[in-house]
Structure formats: C-alpha cells, structure tokens
Amino acid sequence: MLDAIEIHVQGGNGGHGMVSYHREKFVPQGGPDGGDGGRGGRVYLRAVDDVYTLEQYRSKKKFKAVNGGNGGPNLRHGANGADIYLDVPTGTVVHDVETGDLIADLETLGQEVIIAFGGRGGWGNKRFATATNKTPGYSQKGQDGEEVDIRLELRMLADVGLIGLPNAGKSTFLAAVSNAKPKIANYPFTTLEPMLGVVNVGYERFTLADLPGLVEGASEGYGLGFEFLKHIRRCRVLLHVVDCSSPDPVTDYELIETELRAYDPKLDDVARVVAVTKADLAPEMAEDSAAILSGHLGKKVWVVSAESQQGAEELTAELMALVNIEKARAAATPPEDLPVLRPPSEERFTVVRAGERRYLVEGYRPVTFVQMMDTGMAGAQDEIIRRLERWGIAKALRQAGAERGDTIVFGEVELTWEG
Ligand SMILES: Nc1nc2c(ncn2[C@@H]2O[C@H](COP(=O)(O)OP(=O)(O)OP(=O)(O)O)[C@@H](O)[C@H]2O)c(=O)[nH]1
Ligand SMILES: [Mg+2]
C-alpha cells in the first residue's frame, strides 16, 4: 500500500510580451501596440473522496500546467495558461522535499491548495510607453512557472480500520459489506497488507481497511508487527472483531488492546466499535460472547455474521455515523504549524554587498522584473534603471556603496550598474 510518494510539479510559464507598432494607412508613425503575455497556469492539489490511495502517482510523477500565450500586435493579450488539478485522497499531507516544510494538510473534502504558481506574463512594449519614451523597442519575457518537488503522504488510511486476532473474520466482513475482494482463508495471516474497500450507506460512504491480524508481542515487532500498527493509527474509527467461537472473548479482546496501547497510548482515544462475528456458526454462543464482552466493556457489542449478513447493515450504519462525527471533529481542529500560502510581497526588497564591487538585490518585484526584461533589446537597460530609481532600489544601492561599473545581481541575472 503506497502511503508516501514524491512528485514534481511546475506552474505554466508566462507568455512573452510583444514588441510591435501600430500600423494604419495615412498614419506614418504609429505608437507601440505590443500586447502582454498571458500568465501561466497553476498547479492545484484537491482533496477528493473517490480516490483512496496515491497509486495514480506511482507511474506519472511530473506535472506541468499550461504555458501562457504570447502577446500579439494590436494590444492582443496572450491567453492565460489553463490550471491543472491533481486529485489526492482527503487526508493527504504535503511537504516541500527540499526544505522539509509542511505546505498543506488536505484534511477536508473539497479543499484545494495552489502548489505551484504560474509565471507572470511579460509586458508588451506598449506598457513601457511614456511621454518621454514614446516608442520603446523592448518587451518582457514571460516568467517561468514555479517548480517544486513535493512529498505526498497519506496520513489517513481509511475511515474505519478492522482490527482483531488472525483468523477472526476481518477480511470476510470487509468482503461482505464493501466492493473489495480480499483473500480469505481458514488460517492465520491470510492478509499480509492493508486493503481498502468502500462501504455505501444510503447516499454516503466510508472506506474500510482490512488490516493484518495482530498477535501478542506485535508492539515489539512480533507477527507482522509495527508496520500494521502504524496503519491502525491512520484510521478515524476502529472496528474490533472477535470470533464468536473463541472460548474466551475477553482475553482475545484485551490481547489486541494491550498491544495497541503498548504501541501508542493515543490509540486508546480512537473511537472503537466492537463486534462478535461468525454468528451463523453458533448463534447462541455469539449472543453469550457478546453479553460477556459487553459486561466487561460496559458498552454495546454487536453480533454479526459475514456469511448470513446478520447485523451487517445496522453495524455499517453505526460506523457511518461515527465516521461523520470524527470527520467533523477533525475539521474543527486546525492542523498545527501550517503555514498559510501567501503570494510573495511586492514591496519589500533588500540590498546586500556580496563581495568586491558586487551587490545582491533580493525582493520579489525587482528580481522578477529584471529577470523578465530581455536585456538584449535596445533600451531595456535604461528601463530597468528607471524602475529601480522609482522603487527606491537605486538609492539603496548607492547608499550601500555601489558605483558605476559594479555588478548587481538579481536572481539569475547580473547587470553592470550604470546608475
Ligand atoms: N461461517 C462463517 N465463517 C466465517 C465468517 N467470517 C469469517 N469466516 C471464516 O473464517 C476464516 C477466517 O476468515 P478471514 O476473513 O480470512 O479472517 P481474517 O481475520 O481476515 O484473518 P487474517 O487475515 O489471517 O488475520 C475463513 O475460513 C472464513 O471463511 C462468518 O461470518 N461466518
Ligand atoms: Mg484477513
């Protein structure tokens, strides 16, 4: 079962701005009319409820939104690139691979986050026209889309997890109430890895995970050990099934619960439903076992049979109701330490001396602007200087000691200071 995977996502690149001049009969010198490029598409992650695993990202791992169209003459704006939506199961947690930062916790059905912004469209030459600069012969390139490697992790395995001793009848119950077709056999450890099924209850549904049976010492690694206890922690509700033909249902029950507690005391707080199964085999014994367990636990114990479906409908309705309560509870508890995704600030910038006659400008607006300018085009450098003056960056550079001929670094672009 795939519960973590890394993928690469990239927003679409912005379209290039155009250099063009208005042409009309009898108008000898038309003004600039080059249009802007469109913005690149964004990559979204979306929490859905009809995908239960990350399997779909096993083969395809690179996703890019559509690039923006280039600007055209006559002020034609390039088309914005289409966004793409990547569906992930509700309960997926997203980290930035490089920094390790938590980017998003898609805990609520329908929740969407932008994971990579598209690049801005470059400005066409019309944008740069002023009273003193009537025919700018330069435009901007489109900005590259944001690129990031992300790690998707499925924190929630299933709404309900089946726990119990080996051979208790967990897989058979899953097969009886869901669309899953697990392997069933009359020996312990038939189930070797979790399997998910979808259970429909009226118009609602929940996912039910079949988990391998636990044995004494599981918390120390016996049987199938830790791996599965880890999965158990990732269920909202646990359905603990006990074989009705067992001579001592209370001991069976406590053995499992002791292992869970030893692994993680927090598992005690997970909502629990208890059912005695295989009731068709020995109906009276099933009632007796349920009564004994119920007396021991001080709560209702269900009597079911996967074979005859006895009690199955009532039990799944109860599980659905509990899942809804737990979902509402999870939605009401905001995840810890979640950074809020904000567009980068346009206003702030810093100027740092980065060596002999070398200065580094940081800040979203200046760096983006300079990187997008096609510095090979005539007049583009002057345009940059004018903007840097207007934004106060030229002044900051001079204060930091920058002189004519020094190198100024804006992200990937290096300029020689002429200001
Ligand atoms: N008659 C009857 N037999 C059942 C019922 N549920 C399970 N069984 C039988 O009990 C045996 C074990 O069932 P499984 O569903 O494989 O048990 P499990 O808990 O998944 O076992 P592991 O995967 O090995 O941990 C199989 O032979 C099933 O046919 C039931 O409701 N009625
Ligand atoms: Mg099984």
18-27, pLDDT tens digit by residue? 999 987 766 5
> Span 404-414, mean pLDDT?
91
Nearest atom within ligand 1 for CA of residue 277: 31
Asked whether 188 lines ligand 1 (CB < 6 A), one says: yes
Residue that wins the pLDDT comparison between 157 and 5:
5
- Joined together, the tokens standing for residue 181 give 């077709």
Ligand nearest to the CA of 184: 1
Nearest atom within ligand 1 for CA of residue 166: 25
Rounded to whole angstroms, the Cα distance separating 175 from 162 reads: 12
> What's 91's DSSP letter?
T
At 310, the amino acid letter reads Q
Mean pLDDT computed over every residue of the chain? 89
Q: Are 44 and 2 in contact (CB under 8 A)?
A: no
Q: How many CA atoms lie within 13 A of 179 on its CB side?
A: 7
Rounded to whole angstroms, the Cα distance separating 288 from 311 reads: 16
Which CATH topology does 1-155 take? Spo0b-associated Gtp-binding Protein; Chain: A, (2.70.210)
Q: How many angstroms separate the first and last alpha carbons of the chain? A: 60
Q: Are 11 and 42 in contact (CB under 8 A)?
A: yes
> Span 251-273, mean pLDDT?
92
In this prediction the pTM is 0.71
> Per-residue confidence at 287, pLDDT binned at 50, 70, 90?
very high
Asked whether 311 lines ligand 1 (CB < 6 A), one says: no
Look at ligand 1, atom 7, and give the residue with the nearest C-alpha: 169
CATH number of 158-332: 3.40.50.300
Strand segments (E) across 215-340: 235-243, 271-277, 301-303
pLDDT of residue 109: 81
Asked whether 191 lines ligand 1 (CB < 6 A), one says: yes
Sequence-distant (6+) residues with CB within 8 A of 409 are: 354, 358, 359, 360, 361
pLDDT for residue 345 is more than 80: no
Taking each helix axis from N to C end, the angle separating 312-332 and 170-177, rounded to the nearest 10 degrees, works out to: 90
Ligand nearest to the CA of 252: 1
Nearest atom within ligand 1 for CA of residue 164: 19
Q: Which of 71-75, 120-124, 384-388 has the lowest mean pLDDT?
A: 384-388
Rounded to whole angstroms, the Cα distance separating 374 from 380 reads: 7
Give the pLDDT confidence of 90-142 residue by residue, as tens digits: 889 999 999 888 888 888 888 899 999 999 999 999 999 988 888 899 999 99
Which of 179, 249, 162 has its CA nearest to residue 213?
162
Which CATH topology does 350-416 take? GMP Synthetase; Chain A, domain 3 (3.30.300)
Per domain, the residue ranges of the chain are 1-155, 158-332, 350-416
